[in-house]
Structure 1
C-alpha cells in the first residue's frame, strides 16, 4: 500500500527541491517503488522453468542414445548434445529454419497431434553421403531431396524415433511414428502460427560436418502430461520401480517373446562311439524312466510342469498335469513335518 503524504510534508519536499537539497531524480526513484513485470499476451509462457529443465534432461538421454545409434550405423564419429530448450511460437520456429530442409512430421501417439523433427541440410547430406559410401561430406547446394535420398532419411528418422521412445519412457509410453517428410517449412503447418511450442535444439556433428537438429513439440500435444514434466515425478518413478504402469508395459512386451517349450521323455548318457553306431530300429533304454511315468515339460532350460503325451486331432500334444513348484513345496512341507515329529 502506497504511503500518503500530508500537506506539510509535500510543502517541505517542494522547498527542498527548489533549493537544490534534493534532486528530482532521487524523488522519482524514492516514490516509485513498484516492480513492473513485462507480460506479452501474444506470447504467453506456457512452460515453467522446472518443466523446461525436465524436458532438457529427457532429451539429453535421447541425444546420448542417438549418438551411439548413428555412430554405429554410419561407421563414423557422431556427436549429438542438447544446446538449448526454449519456448516460442510455432511461426517463430518455422521462420528460423532454412528452406529447403528435412522436416519429419511425427505422430506422437498416444498424445494428440504431431511434432516436427527438423534436420539441418548439412547434416542430412552428410548422412546420405556416408551411407552411399562417401566420406560424409556435406553440400553447399540448397536443393530438395530426391526420392531415393528421402527414403534413406526415412530410415534414419525411424531409427531416431526408437531412441525418443526410450528417452520418454519414464514419463509416458510414447509410440512416435513418422508420418511424412517435407522439405518446405510452409507445408508443415501442424498447429496455428501463434500456438506456443517447446523447441529442443540439438547440436549435431557428423565427422567434420556440424549442424542442428530441432525437435518442436506443440503445447497442445504435450499438455495432457504437463504435470509429469517435473524432476520430482521422474525421480519418484525411478525409485518406485515396479509401478502399475511399468508392470503393464513389461507384461505387454514379454507377451510377444518367443520361448522354446520341450516335452522331455527321459535321458541317458551315451558315448560318442555308441551314438555313431546307432541305426534305424535300435532301441535306447532310458535311465530310471517307466512308460507310466509323466513327462517333464521344460520352458527354455527350466523344468516347469509334469505332463502326459497324447493326440489332438492328427497332432501330437501333451496335457499338463501338475506344476513342479507345487510338488517341491509339498515335499518341503512333508520334510518339515517329519522333522517336527
Structure 2
C-alpha cells in the first residue's frame, strides 16, 4: 500500500513549490563561464596593436607640446592625456557629433606624395568656450553648454585661431617617425558635407582628455585608415631598404650647422706617469717627473675626452701650441 503523506508533509511540499530552491541557480553561478571577445569578420581590424602603439607614442608626444603651448598662450595650467587609441568605423565618430559641431580638416603630405583623406579633429564645446573666454581675458566658464551649442561668428573665428595653435605642431609630433608637412586647416560646420571618408571606412580615433584649470573636455582626433596605410607603407619601405634614418635630406649638414657654435673641451696630452703615494707626498717645486717619452714624440689631442688627432708640440706667438699631424678618428673608422 502506498505511503500516505501527513498534512505537515503536504504543507512543506506546497511551500517548496511556491518558492523553488535557488540551489541549482547558485551552482550555475559558481561555474565560471568562459568570456569570448566578439570579432566582426565582416569588418576585420586593419591595424595591429604594435601600430596602434606607434600612434599612441606620437600623440603622447603631441599632448606634451600642445599642453605647453596652451600654457604659454592662455596663461592657464593645462594638462593633456591620451585616453585611448582605437580602430573603429568612421560612422562611430560622425554619429557622436551633432549638426552644430565644428570639425577641423588637416591634410598631411607624405614624402612619397601619396594622396589620402585629411585628419579630422573635434573639440568639445565646453572646453573650447572656456579657452575662448580665457583668450579674451575672462575666467573659464563654470557651466557646460548644452549639447549642440551653436557658435556665434566671433566665436567661430576664435575657434579657428585656437585650433590653429593646437594643430600647428602635428608635423613636429610625427617627425620622430616620419618627416611630413601639413596643409592649411579647413573648418566645416556641417558634418554631413564631409564626404571624403565613408561611414564603413576604418579609422583610428585618438581620445585626449584636456583639463584647463577647472574646465575639462576632450579633443578627438580621427585618422583615416587610408592615410595611416600610406604612412606605415613609407615607414616599412625605409626600414627594408635600410634608409630609414636618411629620411631628412642633407640631415648631416643641417645638424652640423645647428651645433657649429657649440663649445667643446680640447686638450693635448704630454704623457703619463705612475707614481707611488709617498713620491707624490714628497714632491716639491723644481722636481722633475719622467714621462718616459721622447721630447720630439707626437702628442695626442683629445676632444671631449675622445682621441681625435696626433700632433707635434711647438710654440706660436710665444705661447705653447700644437700642430695637428694626423686624424686618429678617420683611421679608426677606416679600419673598422
Pairwise CA distance, 1:105: 0.8
Pairwise CA distance, 1:207: 1.8
- Structure 1, residues 289-330: CA drift from partner, whole Å, max 9, x if none? xxxxxxxxxxxxxxxxxxxxxxxxxxxxxxxxxxxxxxxxxx
Quick check: 1:120–1:211 contact (8 Å CA) kept in 2?
yes
2:63 corresponding residue in structure 1? 63
Aligned equivalents of 2:176 and 2:109: distance in 1?
16
Greater mean alpha carbon deviation, residues 150-159 or residues 122-131? 150-159
- Structure 1, residues 156-178: CA drift from partner, whole Å, max 9, x if none? 22222232111100222122234
Spell out the pairing of 1:103-142 with structure 2 (5 A cutoff): 103-110=103-110, 112-137=116-141, 139-141=144-146, 142=148
Quick check: 2:88–2:202 contact (8 Å CA) kept in 1?
yes
The runs of 5 or more residues in structure 1 that have no matched partner are 1-35, 234-239, 258-330, 334-341
1:243 corresponding residue in structure 2? 245
Pairwise CA distance, 1:43: 2.4
- Mark the CA change 1:252 to 1:191 in structure 2 (over 3 Å): closer, same or farther: farther
- Mark the CA change 1:44 to 1:128 in structure 2 (over 3 Å): closer, same or farther: same
Aligned equivalents of 1:52 and 1:243: distance in 2?
22
- Structure 1, residues 209-266: CA drift from partner, whole Å, max 9, x if none? 1111011011111112225779xx7xxxxxx9993223536767999x9xxxxxxxxx
Q: Give 3-state SS (helix, strand or coil) of 2:185's partner.
A: strand
Aligned equivalents of 1:250 and 1:96: distance in 2?
47
1:205 to 203, 207, 211: 211
- Structure 1, residues 94-129: CA drift from partner, whole Å, max 9, x if none? 012344223101111235221101111111111111
- Mark the CA change 1:154 to 1:252 in structure 2 (over 3 Å): closer, same or farther: farther
Pairwise CA distance, 1:155: 2.2
Aligned equivalents of 1:61 and 1:43: distance in 2?
31
Aligned equivalents of 2:166 and 2:256: distance in 1?
23
Root-mean-square deviation over aligned CA pairs:
3.3
Greater mean alpha carbon deviation, residues 135-144 or residues 160-169? 135-144
1:164 corresponding residue in structure 2? 170
1:176 corresponding residue in structure 2? 182
Aligned equivalents of 1:37 and 1:210: distance in 2?
32
Aligned equivalents of 1:163 and 1:218: distance in 2?
19
Q: Give 3-state SS (helix, strand or coil) of 1:96's partner.
A: coil
Q: Is 1:226 aligned to 2:228, yes or no? A: no
- Mark the CA change 1:132 to 1:103 in structure 2 (over 3 Å): closer, same or farther: same
Quick check: 1:165–1:176 contact (8 Å CA) kept in 2?
yes
Pairwise CA distance, 1:89: 0.6
TM-score (norm 1): 0.57
Quick check: 2:104–2:121 contact (8 Å CA) kept in 1?
yes
Quick check: 1:88–1:197 contact (8 Å CA) kept in 2?
yes
Aligned equivalents of 2:225 and 2:244: distance in 1?
30
Aligned equivalents of 1:242 and 1:44: distance in 2?
30
Quick check: 1:55–1:229 contact (8 Å CA) kept in 2?
no
Aligned equivalents of 1:216 and 1:37: distance in 2?
24
Spell out the pairing of 1:244-259 with structure 2 (5 A cutoff): 244-248=246-250
Aligned equivalents of 1:229 and 1:96: distance in 2?
32
Spell out the pairing of 1:4-83 with structure 2 (5 A cutoff): 39-83=39-83
The runs of 5 or more residues in structure 2 that have no matched partner are 1-35, 259-322, 326-336
